[in-house]
Structure 1
Amino acid sequence: MKGTRRALDLELATLEVQDDRGVPLTERRLWARVSAWRPSCSGTDRIDLELDGELFPPVPGYARPIWERWFTGPPGKKRGAWASLDTRRRGAWLDLVRERAFQPARRDRPAGHAYELGGRHVTDEPGLYLALGEAVNGAGGCFGGGLGAVDDCLGGTFGYTAPATLLWLDAATARDHLSQVLAPDGEPCDLFGVVLDILGEGGMHVTLA
């Protein structure tokens, strides 16, 4: 690109998306070419690019307000900022939470820590993982976005050291909504029961309230 404004074919590239503070938020692959460039108002050591191409996968329209919210930075200390969202928007929120989880190093809490999960809004699968992530790692925190990922997180490096305790408040909400769901293969699944089993096997003693 040096000294030219001609189109430059990037082919398959990775786009790092940052929030308004310059902190990495997520990454997306794209097939694109540079159609124009100019000095950036963000600093003399940067340039602004205009790209022609498309993201893989594209950001769906329903997820864009979620991205706009996260561009201002992660949620504050108050948990449940996702609670008013419908299931697919909760899924978009969970996607960003999961991708941010791999960026900063996380210090595990010592064994014996007592966690508390606010279960009033656990009415779907994304809500389950969002509430569990916040119980362990605070507002905007992640502790897996699927059963296998939760099992991995119980092994350490995600804010948790076994053994520990978890007080699950309003657990009846999750039991009512997640005891009969469809697994990816289309078979019925007691997701609530499976999660309890995984947590127990990982050294987290759960008390339902």
Structure 2
Amino acid sequence: MLLEGCSPEGGLLESVHHGGGWRARAGNADLALLDHDGATIGSYFVGEVTVVDVQPSARGAGLVDVTVTLWCDDALPGSERAWGLVRRGGLNRTGMWHELAAEERRAWVSVALRSHGYQRQEETDAPAGQVFVLDGRHIVDEDSFYCAIGEAVNGPGGYFGRNLDALDDCLCGGWGATAPFTLRWDSSAEARARLGEGVPGGDREATVFELLVEILEERGVNVILR
């Protein structure tokens, strides 16, 4: 990874003087992603940051371009497009995730989670009793369900869970909606067929569709299947 226009501090500052050697390891860090005004739009935890090369930067006097190696479990392939939209303020219409491949949909949800605070900023949960409309036509797997419900609750690029446990957490409040509310799930029969994979749980097996509806209803959501 190339970090352009750096003014190194802390552990990174120590490491830039030892590029390629064992003392070039800066350790773990939080890697912040910025918009064009310098505001943080999201961040990743990265590990084993190691300086490989340091060169003067064309971005300004006294700045350097630092090449590092690192690992990051949460930076998923396909995230670049979604981050670019967040950075440019381009998440301005619904359905922008519809044509994404399966891997890109998972990355879309991950970016939605990490940019949630930036996108909503000082907004609070919608009042209880709201009606949200979930379009089931483009729900083809579990990740696309989270793309769809995030958009239904929080608008384009919105987040409202990325797995069953995270959905349950979001339904407790603080993520854009407060139960009780109504979720009108349009084209639900199509979604039911596509979410028909069985998931073992305790002494029974249920489909992904059944578990999603069960979690929603147990948290006080009135699910209307249409």
Shorter-chain TM band:
0.7 to 0.9
Distance 1:196 1:20, change over 3 A: same
Letter in 2 for 1:71: G
5+ residue gaps in structure 2? Answer: 1-7, 19-23
Contact 2:28 2:45 in 1 (8 A): no
Equivalent residue of 2:113, what SS? helix
In the superposition, relative to structure 1, how do residues 54 and 193 fare at CA in structure 2: closer, same or farther (>3 Å)?
Answer: same
Q: In the alignment, does 2:98 pair up with 1:83? A: yes
Summarize the alignment of residues 51-130 of structure 1 with structure 2, pairs less than 5 Å apart. 51-57=67-73, 63-64=77-78, 66-73=79-86, 75-102=90-117, 104=121, 106-130=123-147
Aligned residues of 1:144 and 1:153 also touching (Cα < 8 A): yes
Say if 1:182 and 1:163 are closer, same or farther in 2 by CA, change over 3 A.
closer
Q: What RMSD over aligned residues (CA atoms) do the two structures have, in Å? A: 3.0
Match of 2:54 among 36, 39, 42: 36
The share of aligned pairs that are identical, in percent, is 30
The structure richer in helix per residue is 2
Aligned in 2, Cα 1:132/1:48: closer, same or farther, shift over 3 Å?
Answer: farther
- From the superposition, tell whether residues 12 and 205 of structure 1 become closer, same or farther in structure 2 (CA, over 3 Å): same
The Cα shift of 1:76 comes to 2.7
Does the Cα contact within 8 Å between 2:30 and 2:43 map onto a contact in 1?
Answer: no
Counterparts of residues 1-209 of structure 1 (less than 5 Å):
6-7=17-18, 8-22=24-38, 23-34=40-51, 35-36=53-54, 38=56, 41=59, 47-57=63-73, 63-64=77-78, 66-73=79-86, 75-102=90-117, 104=121, 106-182=123-199, 189-209=206-226
CA deviation vs aligned residue, 1:9-67 (integer Å, no higher than 9, x gap): 312333223344533233140323343254673x77x844413323233856xx24x41
CA gap 1:204/1:50 in 2 versus in 1, 3 angstroms: same
Aligned pairs, number? 203
Instruction: Say if 1:26 and 1:96, in contact at 8 Å, map to a contact too.
Output: no
Q: Distance in 2 between matches of 1:76 and 1:26?
A: 18
Mapped partners of 1:12, 1:18: distance in 2? 19
Could you tell me which runs of 5 or more consecutive residues in structure 1 were left unpaired when the two chains were aligned: none
Amino acid of the residue matched to residue 131 of structure 2?
A: A
Q: Take 2:206 and 2:56, find their aligned partners in 1: how far apart are those partners?
A: 54
